[in-house]
Structure 1
Amino acid sequence: MRGVRRALGLLTLAALCAAATVGGAWAQPTLEFSVKAAFLTKFPAFVTWPESAMTPSEPLRICVVGDDPFGPALEQSAQGRALEDHPLAVRRLAVVDRASGCHVLYALGSSRQSAAQALQAVRGAPVLTVTDAAQGGARGMIHFVVFQDRVRFQIDALQAAQSGLSMSSKLLALALTVKR
């Protein structure tokens, strides 16, 4: 059953890559961030966390630290979704640290904590870090970029491995670039 869910998730993720146009009719930032929100809720299906990262039935927490560009899009994308026995939950934080309980961290940065500081706060912990090229130079394990008018991503698999995470080869195949 997990294989079927993973295949369906991969198809959806591939469709997002193909359809995530940000130019022309998709030029509004809210649509771009709706696509990014969908990616954030799909990525966990292609990542393996160490057993110690989550207790049984604990929610898989997607945290946004910094100025939030999503509006309701992230909650809408996460609603009713789960990774095995872990329902997806969204948290918005002014600052993050290792004890924040995040499994996925979208680090944008703000006046209280820069994206680089947020990444440093969870470095080495089993937290999938995601950053955005449009928001500055800090780079997480997954880094959103706009390429040929589409929302795409680059992956730093080495950084993920150093935090105890492994990424599916299917996810790596969808990335623009992969650092190993």
Structure 2
Amino acid sequence: MEALMRWHTTAVAARAVRAGLALTLALGLASVAAAQSLEYAVKAAYLSKFGFYVEWPKSAFSGPSSPINLCVIGDDPFSGLLDDAVAGQQVEGRPIVVRRLKAAARDAGCHIAYLGGDARAPATIDSLRGTPTLVVTDAHSAGNASGVIQFVLKDNRVRFTIDDETAAQNGLAISSKLLSLALNVKPRGSR
């Protein structure tokens, strides 16, 4: 009987430990999911506002009321957050339109291109180089390639760096206000 009691106590304790581990794992995964959701909500907010601080050449648009095309290239990590962030926004009378593309080409008509977790980011960046496109990447996915703006996580916050030299090569002028918010700026004429 005593052996049966010890076995029962051990079995109950083992189940409690397994349940505790499962709960800890579930809470940890929920915490990671919440952090990623918050990360992409912040990135969506940034992407929806970058257009207010960039000047494109007039030739980048077919007309005075043509939209600013914000393209998500490859996988879309936003789950509707980006659509919500741009809803009803206009930059100098131009609506912001979200487009989702599997791949980007020079003639895709993207004014802002977010590459996110796209494994082809370096090749896509190269294909858009010299076009009036504000290329935005995540630092962890772009490798050594550099878009114009790169999101970075620093101190558990979404921040960004700006390559103003690449912006100039793409015919874009970035406002000093946006440059002042960047974690780091690669200035024009630095190559």
- Fold match by TM threshold 0.5: yes
Please give the secondary structure, in 1, of the residue aligned with 2:115.
strand
Q: Is the 8 A contact 1:109 1:118 kept in 2?
A: no
Structure 2: distance between partners of 1:124 and 1:74: 26
Unmatched 5+ stretches in structure 1: 1-23
Is 1:98 the counterpart of 2:95 in the alignment?
no
Report the structure number with the largest CA radius of gyration.
2
The CA deviation at 1:27 is 5.2
The whole-number CA distance in structure 2 between the counterparts of 1:83 and 1:25 is 34
* Aligned residue-pair number: 155
Deviation at 1:68, TM superposition (A): 1.1
C-alpha contact (below 8 Å) 1:105/1:130 kept by paired residues: yes
1:33 to 16, 40, 56: 40
Shift of 1:135: 2.4
Equivalent residue for 1:141, pick from 145, 148, 168 = 148
Q: Quick one: distance in 2 between partners of 1:71 and 1:133?
A: 21
Asked whether the equivalents of residues 41 and 77 of structure 1 are also in contact (C-alpha less than 8 Å), the reply is yes
- Whether the aligned pair in 1 keeps the contact of 2:122 and 2:142 (CA below 8 Å) is no
Query: Could you tell me how far apart the structure 2 residues matched to 1:67 and 1:27 are?
Result: 19
2:163 and 2:121 map into 1 onto residues whose CA distance is 16
Q: CA deviation at 1:25?
A: 9.2
Equivalent positions of 1:2-151 (< 5 A) are 28-54=35-61, 55-108=63-116, 110=118, 114-137=120-143, 138-151=145-158
CA deviations on 1:8-47 (whole Å, 9 max, x unpaired) are xxxxxxxxxxxxxxxx899521110010000001011001
The CA distance in 2 between the partners of 1:68 and 1:133, in whole Å, is: 16
Once the two structures are TM-superposed, the CA of residue 117 in structure 1 deviates from its matched residue by 1.3
Q: Which has the higher contact order (CA 8 A, sep 6+)?
A: 1
One-letter code aligned to 2:185: V
The Cα RMSD (Å) is 1.7
Letter aligned with residue 153 of structure 1: F
* TM-score, length of structure 2 as denominator length: 0.77
Equivalent AA in structure 2 for residue 154 of structure 1: T
Q: Secondary structure at the match of 1:108?
A: coil
Q: How far apart in 2 are the matches of 1:134 and 1:77? A: 24
Deviation at 1:109, TM superposition (A): 5.3
Which TM-score applies when normalising by structure 1?
0.81
